[in-house]
Every structure is written in C-alpha cells, then in structure tokens.
Structure 1
Amino acid sequence: MSIFSFLHTQHPASQPAVDDTLFDTARLVITVEKTFDAPVEAVWTAIDDDHAWKWLPFPCTGVKYDSPARGVGIVREMGSPFEPLRFLWVEKEKFWRYEPNQRITFGVVSGNWLQYLLVRQYGEDKTFTDLGDGRTRVTWTIAVTLRWPLRFATWFPPLWRAAYRVVGIGPLFERRVAEVARTTRPPLRSINTNGISSAEPSSHPADKEGTK
C-alpha cells in the first residue's frame, strides 16, 4: 500500500458510536448550551445543510454527503473531506437519531489515519428548543474517548466546554445562522376560510364588493 493510499484509507473506529450507550461509556461527556436570536429553522439549517462547518477557520473543512438524503442511518463525511486536504482528517459519522428542527444524534464509525490514531470513540447529541419570539436554544452534548497518550486531555472538561462554546457555536456560527435567517424565505402565511392565502389578493366576489 502506498503512503498516499494509506492516508486516505478509512479504518473502523475502535469503539463505533452507534447508539446512546456512547454517552455512558465515553471517557469524557460534556454539555454546552447557547441561545440564538434566530428561528429554530435557521439554526437547524446552519447545522444540517451542505455548508455546515465550512465557516470554521480551517481550509477545506466541512461535511460531505453522498446524496441529498437525510435521516436515520445516513452516513456523512466530516473534517477536511475536500481536496486538496482530504488526506488530513476525514471521519464518517452515522446518524441514529434525526428529528428535523428538534434533535440529531450521531457518532463516528470510521476515520482516516489522524482520526484513528487519536480517537477511540466520538459522538454528539444536539437538541433544538424553539423559545418563541424568534429565539432558539441549542443543547449540545459531546462524548469522546481519546487514545493514549492523549487520554490526559480529558482531565480538563472546562477547557473542552470553552473550546466547543467558542469555536463550535461561537461568533462564526452566529454569523452563519444570521446569514441563513436573512436569506431563507419565511413560511407561507396561513390559509383563510376561503382557501386563499392571506398574503395573496382575494378574487372572491364578496371581497371585491367590500373594497368598492
């Protein structure tokens, strides 16, 4: 096997994260929360669409899906899945929970050389709570077990929380959420009793008479 081939090879995770037992067995489990001044649909989209994580300050970072499909059982690539840095860090994450605008849970089932050498198991659980008035709370739980000799890093949960809060859902993510909220068309207004959207002009004779 050539070195180039080795760098791209996916190795099965030492402890594949495929269900909620991950959050009981992982060496480190932390939770961070943040409230956004944006509707839940915008926050969900920022996390879930094809542009997710491209806003991180690292080249070629993001997620890559094999198809537009979403749902339980879907596997996506995360890390640096785009050329020319695809050889650096690519992990495959499998979803075992997918509830649009409410909750997603996934874990790593395989990774390339960097992921395999550093991490034994990894997964995330995110819940999205609509607080009303265009505000959304995200609760993000991360579970990770590192390999030796990096195991000592899990002795400092406050540092992990700070990193995920600042880098994961910090200012750069807030900017992405604001962009999604600004560019996404609002939902259609409710339908009135005449079966006509309240956002559209009425063509009903009675309505026309009322405007004379």
Structure 2
Amino acid sequence: NTGGMGAYSPLPWLPGGVDEFVREVTETVALPTVRQLEVEGTPFIGLLYCGLIVTAQGIRVIEFNARFGDPETQVVLPRMQSDLSEYLMAAASGTLSTKPNPEFSDDVAVVVVLASEGYPGEVVTGRPIAGLAASGELADQVTGVQVVHAATEVRSREESGERGARSEWIATGGRVLGVVARGETFAQARARAYTGIGQLDLEGGQHRTDIAERVA
C-alpha cells in the first residue's frame, strides 16, 4: 500500500516469507487484540484489518479497521482461490477455526489508483472520465485488467447541461477508481495496470508512477 494510491500482491520481500509473516501477525497482533476485546466484554465478530508496517525493529501496527483495506484488498481477493463467502459465514457463525487457511493463486496483482485534482486535500469533483465503457470497464480492454470503482457515478449529458442523451462516467470524490491488473510476473502486471490507467482521461486527474516499481 502507498497512501491509498496503489498496492501489489504478494510481497516477495517479506522476511521469512508469506507463511511466516502471517503466523507472526496472527500470534502477536491479531489474536492478542481479539482476545483483549473479549476480556473487556466487547467480543469482536467480523473482519479485522490490521494496518501494519515492517520496520528494522519488527512489525508495528499503524491502524485497525473493521472492514477490508482499500486498496490492498483489490490485489488480494482477485488471487484468492478459496470461496470467500464460506470464510465470511464461518466468521459470522463462530466456526472460523474449523476452516483451513485460504488458498491463493501463484500469479501477482497490481492496482494503480486514479485520483481527482486536489487529492488528498480539497478535491475537484463532477468531471467526466473518458476511456470507460458503459459497463465501467476500460473501453479498450487490456488483458488481465479490471476497473474497481470507488467514487464514480453515471450521469446523462442532459444532467450536465449538454444536449443529447448519452451517459458518461463522472468522478465524485478523491480516490476515483483503481485499475487492477493480474499477470505471471510483477513486470507484466505492472505494465498492464499502467497501460490501462493510461487509457483514462480525467481533467486534473493524478496517479503515482512508481507502484510495484520495487518488485517489477
């Protein structure tokens, strides 16, 4: 994650690998937090997002959210091969401990976020986004790419004061959408993501150019 402007998955630079990292986070962060909430009489049932940073002194917690992380989830769930609904149901019914660890594909994913002018401060909204089809995907599709909308809406040109009934996509907030790309390598997925976001035109729009650069 890079301040909400992009993310990639998996993380090949994790010390000890993904499995060891998950074990450490579970044992030192997630479980102690959930157990303490139970001690305090407020047992937690749901999805706990642990916002972490890996430092020279080890794992440190930045924040907790009772929701999926954004945009991190956009590069994790596309790689998930297990049935997400089964895990959500198990969490809600208190049977999550009976489920095996979820399985993920071996491919990689990169997301690059398109933001409005002014983000992360006072943003300019209401501007059209060129390059999107009526479905919300790219008008010129790129292999392995999908668009995840965050702050958009469809508006007819008549609503915008223009003649004609054709509709267009409008940016309605700061982080507008994410272009998510999958590939066999980070270089491939990254190239696809930037090809996709390069097809979009939002006046004053901005995006980072260094997402996944470290691993590609």
Global fold match (TM > 0.5): no
Bigger strand fraction:
1
TM-score, normalisation: structure 1: 0.23
Relative to the length of structure 2, the TM-score reads: 0.23
Name the larger-Rg structure. 1
